Amino acid sequence: MLAHSFGYWLQQLLNALTIASFYVPLTVAYALVQGITSKIFLSFGDFTMYAAFAALYAGLAALLAGQEAAMTLAGALMLAMLCAAALGRVAATHVFAPLIRGSAQAFMIGSIGVSIALQEVMRIQSGNRDLWLPPVLEGAAVRIYDGPFPVQIGLVSVAAIATSIAAIAIVLAVMKHSAIGRVWNACSQSERLARLSGVDTVAVLRWTCVGSAALASISGWIISTSYGGVNFSMGLILGFKAMFASALSACEEQVDEPYLKIVGGGFMFNLRYSKATYGFVARQLRTLPEGSVLEASFDLPGRDTKYVETQPAFPGKLQYKFETDGIFGIRKNTPYKVKLRLLEAKTGKELTVVEHSFQSDIDQEGLPTKPPVLPGAGYELAPE
């Protein structure tokens, strides 16, 4: 009885790994784009659908040419990734990059428009019918356990699991150890600060879409090679599955995790108006209590008083920006402390405190004290 139970649960584990190998690349691909846009993006399902069709056509061509199973699978995967990456590049350049600084609704509607267009093209191309790939490595399986309940897994499923694990490992390595990962993290924390630091945030969006689409294509390849059937309408369903899976992975919150984190900030000198300010951006790490208030206080140069700014916490808002009015007397290499407090709106009870220090690389004394006059046609005098 124990051996039978062990075999049964081992088989269920292998089945779960096969399903996970399909969902994980799709979910991670969605999370990569959502992480730097903070907007709903529903086109990945259709990128996956196109990858599935590309893998199916490549597989049919390879089988008709008498290619070996390994070459058939490899060729199908390569064409699927190229197809999805190309779609990601085109969509990012012509649709999502122009909308990235617009509203979340405009971005989401743009992604829906891309999905509708891709589905309609594939509907016409496929003749509005399901297409099927003959089984690759039919009947080939690896026996894992012999006993009252024998356990085995198909070689195609083994290839799917191995490919998915390798792809996720590559993504993790790139995000953790490369300049690409550091730039992506900077954009995800504050797109505006990253742009002010010289990062081409539009280019980051483009290559993120390309890489994410290539990652999502693995799921399309698995659909074709493991399940065999593809159709033009499955893109929308896959897009919603990716969104829901990504959202569910972020639902669990650690109660000991702080509510907020200061992710960037510093001094800003506007020579056009001869004005200096400093500020910071705070990112929400877990859901803020309903009705709470954020209070930021800034040390001011040469003064005992502080500059204080408050903002209400809004549901769904992930980042909050605080900035002083014009200040004077900034000294080089002198730390100026900021404090961010999360307060209950009614009682004023302090829920959390985050502190940070910023310092300038230059003295404000070395900057003009009055706005310069800008000569030239079309210019007006700077305000006094």
What whole-number distance in Å separates Cα of residue 333 and Cα of residue 231?
A: 62
For 80-138, how does the pLDDT look when each residue is reduced to its tens digit (9 = 90+)? 999 999 988 998 888 888 887 777 778 888 888 888 888 888 888 888 888 888 877 76
Average pLDDT taken over every residue of the chain: 82
User: So what's the pLDDT on residue 362?
Assistant: 83
- Calpha distance 380→103 (Å, rounded): 33
pLDDT at 308 (0 to 100): 92
What span, in angstroms and rounded, lies between the C-alpha atoms of 218 and 81?
7
Alpha carbon distances (Å) from 150 to 7, 145, 300? 6, 6, 73
Give the C-alpha separation, 155 to 69, whole Å. 10
Closest C-alpha among 333, 320, 327 to residue 277: 327
pLDDT tens per residue, range 36-92: 887 777 777 888 888 889 998 988 888 888 888 888 888 889 999 999 999 889 988
What is the predicted pLDDT for the residue at 139? 67
Residue 217: pLDDT above 60?
Answer: yes
- Total residue count of the chain as it appears in this document: 384
**In the prediction, which pLDDT does 170 show?**
93
Q: Is the pLDDT of residue 249 over 70?
A: no
State the average pLDDT over residues 297-318.
87
The DSSP line for 225-273 is III-EE-TTHHHHHHHHHHHHHHHHTT---TTS-SEEEEEEEEEEETTT
Instruction: Give the mean pLDDT of 178-190.
Output: 85
Q: What pLDDT, on the 0 to 100 scale, is given for residue 296?
A: 93
At CB < 8 A and 24+ separation, what contacts does 186-191 make? 187/36, 188/35, 188/36, 189/263, 189/264, 189/281, 189/283, 190/263, 190/264, 190/281, 190/283, 190/319, 191/36
Query: Mapping DSSP to helix (H, G, I), strand (E, B) and coil, where does residue 340 land?
Result: strand
The two three-digit tokens of residue 253, written as one number: 């919150």
CB contact at 8 A, 276 and 267: yes
User: Does residue 377 register a pLDDT over 50?
Assistant: no
- Give me 320's structure tokens: 């909050």
Task: Output DSSP code: residue 127.
Answer: T
What pLDDT score was predicted for residue 384?
54
pLDDT tens digits along 151-175:
778 888 888 899 999 999 999 999 8
39, two tokens: 């907007």
pTM of the model: 0.66
Longest dimension (CA), the chain: 91
Evaluate if residue 188 carries a pLDDT over 60.
yes
User: What residues are paired with 191 via a beta bridge?
Assistant: none
In degrees rounded to 5, what are phi and psi of residue 359? -140, 155
% of the chain beyond a pLDDT of 90: 14
Cβ atoms 215, 25 nearer than 8 A: yes
CA distance 45 to 133: 20
DSSP code of 96? Answer: I
CA-to-CA separations, 154 to 159, 227, 342, in angstroms, rounded: 9, 12, 54
Which tokens is 114 given? 């891309």
Q: What one-letter code names the amino acid at 100?
A: I
State how far the Cα of 177 lies from the Cα of 155, in Å rounded to an integer.
32
Q: Given this model, what pLDDT does residue 9 score? A: 83
Weakest mean pLDDT among 232-236, 308-312, 328-332, 372-376 = 372-376
